[in-house]
Structure 1
Amino acid sequence: MRKGVVSQSTAVRLCFRTGTLQPRRPNIRAYAQQFGPSTEPTNNIPGADPGDDEPRKKSRSKPETEPERESRFGTTAYKAFESAFTTFASIAVLGLAGYSYHIYYKSLVLRKIEKAFAPGDPMLELAAPPGPHVPPQDQSGDDDEQWVARPEQAKINAIISGESKGRYYLLVGEKGTGKSSMILEAMKEHNGEGVSMFEAHADPEIFRIRLGRALNYEFHEDYIGSLFSIRGPRDTTALLDIERAFNKLEKIALKNRNQRSKTGRKGPLVVIVNCAHLIRDDEDGNDLIELMQQRAEQWAAANLVTMIFNSDDYWVYERFKRYATRMEVIPILDLPKSLAIPALERYRAKYFPREEHKPEIFKQVYDLVGGRLNFLSRVAKSSDMLRMCHQIKEYEKTWFLNKCGILGEEMDDDVMDQQKFASAAMVLARALVQKDKELETNYDEDQGHILPQIPLYIARQIMTRADFIQSYDHENIFTIDSSANVRADSVPMMNAFKEICSEEGFDDYLEATLDRISAIESINRTKELTFKDLWIEQKGEQKGKYTFTTKDARGRETGSVEMRVVPDNLPDEND
């Protein structure tokens, strides 16, 4: 081997001698330059290939050719196309994922609303313990919840089951007559299938939430797309949200009508708005009632949804009456005597099974409280039924006096508005008591109490006010039935009217209050004019006058009034 030439095997041995753990392919050219002479220029940079200097120098001095330029342009265009395609693919995947989620969410919303009409209902679960429904005639012992069957129960059952369709219904009656109990009893028969019920509220926002809970609808507040928006979960009013909920409900109702033959339910879905009288009688409340009535009319015509409105006040009927074409009013009144006494006996036997029942006591109870289910249940649970009857009458009397007590002629003028409200109620109560005295009979052995009633327009004439009667109905002092007749809210309230009006000096006290109200109004209507500079002396005589000219609506003079000064030295007419 020549001097300065290193073989490959020698280079490998040198690598092992330098401590390299693994053999690597030696740079023959570097070893040749190190151990042998060479005329090539060396690179002083450690670790660099000496042969790299020459191509760099050549590349700096030699201009680029056309193939080289086309190669670099092609590489740049490819990279730009690759970036654009990657961006487009990312956007496409994101858009496809968002659209797929949107379609999935819409179908999820419909499935959730459909589950709201599945067997079982939150209102039904709150009203009764879970378990199979037992008909009223088969109930016994402590499980006897439906202790009386009202005559209207069969009709309510037909509406809830879907047999009665093509109309929507308004249940009107006083508080405690059993309207909600009848609806819940009808729901129990079918375990709430195809029915959704919720309580109304004065605030539209709370009404929206309760409607969404009843329909199992979140108003898109759980939509994940809102995470990419700076706005809140909802950017609209409560009324628009209610409209959206009804739109979703309409889709489910259409699907239910198309699949009605496959399911066990025969009729349309049922939506119940309980306590509709709690909606405020203002602009927002009227808009809400109009929205629900429009939907009820459309759905009743198409047999999609049957809506039921339950109200204690008459004004709801007045609002519905304006545009009602398919509405049916179901009045719910107190039980007649023939049904109230057996119901009281049955309920009394449940709580006091060992007590000896006396029919004359039950008759006395009915004479004192009438056939109101709320009162009968309270009396039946009391150990002394007659004493509880008198307490109920005292409660009603106290409530009436607290709301409508009059103050007489010594009242202050600051309480004018409240005393107008109270005196009008007293005048109407006195008119009902007088009407009761004029009736030939106010009690029937089968029907029971026959409360005196006055038509609504005449009641307004008696009070000389047309705006107070709605407040009286809302305060459960007077009631207005579906025939627009005004009467006492209950038998105990009518008994309270009789006691108050029969007190000694009541008529004089009421007249003094009315006179005081008239005097205060007269003072408020009286204007005082003060004249200045009317006393003028001219040539030793005191003179001065004012002349007023009166004109009609067309500006023509109709007369004049002249005011002169009367001197003090004139002789008196009595002299």
Structure 2
Amino acid sequence: MGTDEKKPPDQFNKKERAHQSNSQNASPISSKMLEAAATAFASILVLGTGFGLGGFLYHKFYKWLVIYKMERAFQPGDPVLELAAIGKQVPTSIASTQGPDSEEDHWILRDEQAKIDAIVNGTDRGHYHLLIGEKGTGKSSMLLDAMQKINGEGVSMFEAHADLEIFRIRLGKALDFEFHEDYIGSYFSERGPRDTTALLDIERAFNKLEKVALKRRKVVGRPLILIINCVHLLRDDDDGQDLLELLQQRAEQWAAANLVTMVFNSDDYWVYERLKKIATRMEVTSITDLPRNQAIAALSKYRQKYFRESPNPDILSEVYDRVGGRLTFLNRVAKSADMLKTCDNIIDVERRWFLNQCWILGMEMDDDVMDQQKYASAAMVLAAALVSAEETQPLSHEDGSHNIPQLPLHIARQIMTRADFIKSYDHINLFTITSTAYVRADSVPMQRAFRSICNEPGFEKHLEATLQRISDIESLGRTREVVAKDLVLGGRYRILLKEGERRGERVTEVVLEEKKEGGDD
């Protein structure tokens, strides 16, 4: 009919209602998703902020705690003093303090004690110090006495060790520093807290110590004191030299800034030799044996106080003649019932120690022990030279004190024909090298032991036979034997010395030349 068909009203309403229903269903789902996302983001933000803030606060607290613990390590009282007090006997110490109240605990007054006191209490500043002397002269005892007077305030002391890891641990114990090994943040890192070297750990400890020293300088005005005992126990190799260089660099820097005064205590000369190369602020204090008058007076006083006896001056003089003024020997003799017998025992121990280390085997020795015999014979040659020096050098000073014969270090090396052995002799306490580069016996008993060995009948011939045997073995090692066989009648060998393949190499060439026809026979 040409008219448009119109949709029914009911059908139109159904479609409209369906569209509105779909729109209403879609709106709650999207809003819920947005709400859940916002909640999750807020939770993550809160947790992240909490963890981050907590970690930051813990990090700041840990850094404060490290400094606090290190400051506490320099407060009055020291574990070294407590250990020394546990082991004290009568007398509690060899080195002495001044004053009548200390006479019960100390029985020998050393002249160097006043200087050591000034170093340890911070009065002597602007330098670092090397105490050098033979074993048993009282170096450690004087340091402990100086620490005792101030109750260890501002002082820390520890023993050196050849192993760098043990040295690191002992330094950490002395400074109360854990090297961040107790830091909880290490649990969340891939690298462990010990993924480094001992030298780096020591450098980190010194960085913290420098902060503590700067704070102390502002408050107190005095430097901290760090004492390293037995520095000679470090090995004279690359690792030991690197550690000693690190310590010296810090000592130089801190001495110039009056932050920390470092004190090195050593029995061996090689430490001084290494430190001297770059030293500008180092002071060397040589601790030697006591003079005669001081040693005899101390012995007499001790025997009167603890044994209720007045010793014969001749016996006391004889004691000094036999063992000298070495404090460790005097301490042993003073406590003995028979002083002269104890002196003889000390001399015998020193003599057997020297023979066990360096006795020579004579002409009959096997060639397998030649290296050891080179070491032993060089020591015997040096001992004989020191005994011979007694004829030209006075045996006592003007005050009656011992003057142990000595030779310049370069002359001693020339006599031994070796330059490397002398440091080893010094390390095992056979000979000693003084801070002025002189070589002598380690002690008066050791010099007496040298004299008794060299004066034995047949010693010179035995030493000459040993040296001859060493020379023969070395000669055999340098000799090459050439055996000629199958020589043609009338032939001859031609020996040529020419350059080898490597630079400086010499090669011997042997060529057989047969007789030429028509030649002369």
TM over 0.5: yes
CA–CA distance in 2 between the matches of 1:311 and 1:457? 22
- Deviations 1:215-240 (CA, angstroms, capped at 9, x unpaired): 01111111122233455442111111
1:138 aligned residue: 100
Q: How does 1:157-306 map to 2 (within 5 A)?
A: 157-229=117-189, 231-260=191-220, 266-306=221-261
CA–CA distance in 2 between the matches of 1:443 and 1:282? 38
CA–CA distance in 1 between the matches of 2:277 and 2:509? 52
- Does the aligned pair in 2 maintain the 1:347–1:377 contact within 8 Å? no
Give 1:529 deviation, angstroms: 2.2
CA–CA distance in 2 between the matches of 1:333 and 1:529? 59
- Does the aligned pair in 2 maintain the 1:136–1:146 contact within 8 Å? no
SS at match of 1:356: coil
- Does the aligned pair in 2 maintain the 1:146–1:185 contact within 8 Å? no
Return the letter of the residue paired with 1:213. Answer: K
- Going from structure 1 to structure 2, the CA distance change for 1:415 and 1:224 (only over 3 Å counts) comes to same
2:277 aligned residue: 322
- Going from structure 1 to structure 2, the CA distance change for 1:516 and 1:329 (only over 3 Å counts) comes to same
Whether 2:357 is the aligned partner of 1:403: answer yes
Structure 2 residue corresponding to 1:549, chosen from 496, 500, 508 = 496
1:66 aligned residue: 23
Superposition TM-score, scaled by structure 1 size:
0.81
Give 1:338 deviation, angstroms: 1.8
- Going from structure 1 to structure 2, the CA distance change for 1:349 and 1:291 (only over 3 Å counts) comes to same
1:105 aligned residue: 62
Give 1:475 deviation, angstroms: 0.7
CA–CA distance in 2 between the matches of 1:161 and 1:502? 50
Give 1:445 deviation, angstroms: 5.2
Structure 1 residue corresponding to 2:300, chosen from 330, 338, 345 = 345
- Going from structure 1 to structure 2, the CA distance change for 1:562 and 1:91 (only over 3 Å counts) comes to closer
CA–CA distance in 1 between the matches of 2:304 and 2:69? 45
Give 1:562 deviation, angstroms: 8.2
1:127 aligned residue: 84
- Does the aligned pair in 2 maintain the 1:479–1:489 contact within 8 Å? yes
2:42 aligned residue: 85
- Going from structure 1 to structure 2, the CA distance change for 1:545 and 1:388 (only over 3 Å counts) comes to same
Give 1:547 deviation, angstroms: 1.4
Give 1:281 deviation, angstroms: 0.8
1:313 aligned residue: 268
Give 1:161 deviation, angstroms: 0.9
1:12 aligned residue: none
- Going from structure 1 to structure 2, the CA distance change for 1:79 and 1:486 (only over 3 Å counts) comes to same
1:522 aligned residue: 475
CA–CA distance in 2 between the matches of 1:398 and 1:319? 32
- Going from structure 1 to structure 2, the CA distance change for 1:302 and 1:347 (only over 3 Å counts) comes to same
CA–CA distance in 2 between the matches of 1:75 and 1:319? 77
Percent of aligned pairs sharing the same letter: 60
Return the letter of the residue paired with 1:157. Answer: D
1:41 aligned residue: none
Superposition TM-score, scaled by structure 2 size:
0.89
Return the letter of the residue paired with 1:173. Answer: G
- Going from structure 1 to structure 2, the CA distance change for 1:187 and 1:148 (only over 3 Å counts) comes to same
CA–CA distance in 1 between the matches of 2:490 and 2:200? 75
Long gaps (5+) in structure 2: 1-14, 516-521
Give 1:564 deviation, angstroms: 7.7
1:481 aligned residue: 434
- Does the aligned pair in 2 maintain the 1:136–1:147 contact within 8 Å? no
SS at match of 1:487: strand
CA–CA distance in 2 between the matches of 1:67 and 1:166? 86
Return the letter of the residue paired with 1:427. Answer: V
- Does the aligned pair in 2 maintain the 1:548–1:561 contact within 8 Å? yes
CA–CA distance in 1 between the matches of 2:422 and 2:372? 14
Give 1:63 deviation, angstroms: 6.7
CA–CA distance in 2 between the matches of 1:401 and 1:511? 17
SS at match of 2:45: helix
CA–CA distance in 2 between the matches of 1:127 and 1:240? 31
CA–CA distance in 1 between the matches of 2:53 and 2:357? 65
Return the letter of the residue paired with 1:450. Answer: N
CA–CA distance in 2 between the matches of 1:368 and 1:130? 28
Q: How does 1:426-437 map to 2 (within 5 A)?
A: 426-437=380-391
Whether 2:419 is the aligned partner of 1:457: answer no
CA–CA distance in 2 between the matches of 1:360 and 1:234? 62
- Greater Cα offset, 305-314 or 497-506: 497-506
Give 1:480 deviation, angstroms: 0.3
CA–CA distance in 1 between the matches of 2:101 and 2:190? 58
CA–CA distance in 2 between the matches of 1:130 and 1:365? 27
Give 1:563 deviation, angstroms: 7.6
